[in-house]
Structure 1
Amino acid sequence: MGPSVSREIASPPEVAWRLLTHVDDWPRWGPTVAGGTVPGGVIGPGATGTVRTAVGVSLPFTITEFEDGRSWAWSVAGVPATKHRVTPTKGGCVVSFEVPWWAPGYLVVCALALVRIERLAAAS
Structure 2
Amino acid sequence: MIVVSRGRSTAAPEQVWAVLSDVDAWPRWVPTVTSVARASGPDGTPTNPATAPGVGSVFEVVQSRLGRARWVVTEWEVGRSFTWVSWRPGVRSTATHRLRAEQGGTGIELGISWSGQGARVVRALVGRLTQRYTELELGALVATAEGRSDG
**TM-score normalised by L of structure 2:** 0.69
Residue type matched to 2:84 in 1? W
Q: State the alpha-carbon separation in 1 of the partners of residues 4 and 20 from structure 2.
A: 16
* 1:59 CA displacement: 3.1
Q: In structure 1, the residue corresponding to 2:49 is in which secondary structure?
A: helix
In the other structure, the counterpart of 1:10 is 10
Gaps of 5+ in 2: 39-47
Seq. identity, %: 26
> Compared with structure 1, are the counterparts of its residues 83 and 19 closer, same or farther at alpha carbon in structure 2 (3 Å cutoff)?
same
* 1:98 CA displacement: 1.4
Which stretch of structure 1 is more off in the superposition, 15-24 or 83-92? 15-24
Q: How many residues align?
A: 124
Q: Are 2:104 and 1:91 equivalent residues in the alignment?
A: yes
Q: Are 2:130 and 1:110 equivalent residues in the alignment?
A: no
In the other structure, the counterpart of 1:52 is 62
**TM-score normalised by L of structure 1:** 0.82
* 1:56 CA displacement: 9.3
Conserved 8 A contact 1:4-1:98: yes
Picking from 54, 67, 71, the partner of 1:61 is: 71
Q: Which deviations, in whole Å up to 9, do the C-alpha atoms of 1:7-38 show, x marking residues without a partner?
A: 11000111111211112321234333112123
> Compared with structure 1, are the counterparts of its residues 56 and 81 closer, same or farther at alpha carbon in structure 2 (3 Å cutoff)?
closer
